[in-house]
Amino acid sequence: MPRRKRFWIPLVFAALALAALAVPVLAQQAGPGRLEGWAARKAAELEAALPQVRDRAMADSLEGKVAALRYQESLEATAAAVGAVPPEDPCALMPTPLPAAKADARPDGILEGPLAVMPGTSVEVHNQWTGQAGGIRLTAFAGLRLDLPGQGVVVVWEDNSAGGGEYLAPQATGALKIVAERQGRLELVDEQGSILFFDLPARQFLTPAEAQAKSALPTVIPQPTFTPAPQLCPVR
């Protein structure tokens, strides 16, 4: 065999070596969820770490977590012993839908309640209005930006559409509250008692002159509406 060809041999072995290195790394990436008994393995992992932990608070926490994982295992064992079998018809177990009156439909108009948070934002909601404005069904919230001192805000949501937005009051004069709605215009009051107007179809606060003029402002373009997922199980 010509000598130069033999130089490939170490390269082949080197490739094998890299593969040997990769196996344990890839094995770690396999993810516990791919396998059965995640709770048992996690409990064992925490128990193995426990003797290393000198911090009392951390050790107590770990012991509690291990106990919870063991309990989870016992619940799974209980369920397995029941041996329940899913029905042929996936809709067979669906509860009877509640009458509309008991469901979560809310009346149109101004709705009062406790201060509420709008998750994923820094908006604290003080009250809301729901109805049709500019041919679109929407909800407008009035409140405060928690991250901007004294900054009032109006947030508009269109039902199942991305056409909403957040609109800061012209001055940071405290939280806003809706006191009335007339022909698509919200009348709001801030913490200093001043009255502000917000035009819903135009999505903007009005200057006093605009509020007096009562002329229509340019309307925002409606956004595409999301198509709700089809109901899998027909209502019986």
Partner 1 sequence: MLIMRTSILLLLTAVILGLAIAPVPAHAEAPVQTETPIQTESPSATPSPGASATLETAPTGLAAGGPARFTLYIPAASSLVIPPAPPASTTYYVLNTDPAALYQLGCQQAQADAARPEADDMLVILDFGQGYSEKEEGKERVWGTWLFSPAWRFISMDTIAAAARGYIQGYWACAKGGDRLTLGIGTNNYGGYGSDSKDPEVREAFASEHGRRWAQMVASVASWSASSGYATRVTVVGANDIELSWNPPNVTRAWVASYTAVNGSRIPYYNFGACEGCPTVPYPTWKGVNGWTQEDVWYAAWGAAAAWPLPEIYLNTGIHARQWQQMSWYSATRHGLRMDFVGAMTQQVACQQRGGCTFSNGQRMDNPPDVGWRQLYEALFKDPLTRQTKLRWSTDIRWMNR
CB of 81 to partner 1, least distance (A): 8
Nearer to partner 1, 6 or 182 (CB): 6
Nearer to partner 1, 38 or 194 (CB): 38
Nearer to partner 1, 171 or 225 (CB): 225
CB of 104 to partner 1, least distance (A): 5
CB of 201 to partner 1, least distance (A): 17
Residues 181 and 168: their CA atoms lie apart, in Å, by: 18
CB of 59 to partner 1, least distance (A): 8
Nearer to partner 1, 118 or 179 (CB): 118
Per the CB < 8 A criterion, the answer to whether 163 and 133 are in contact is no
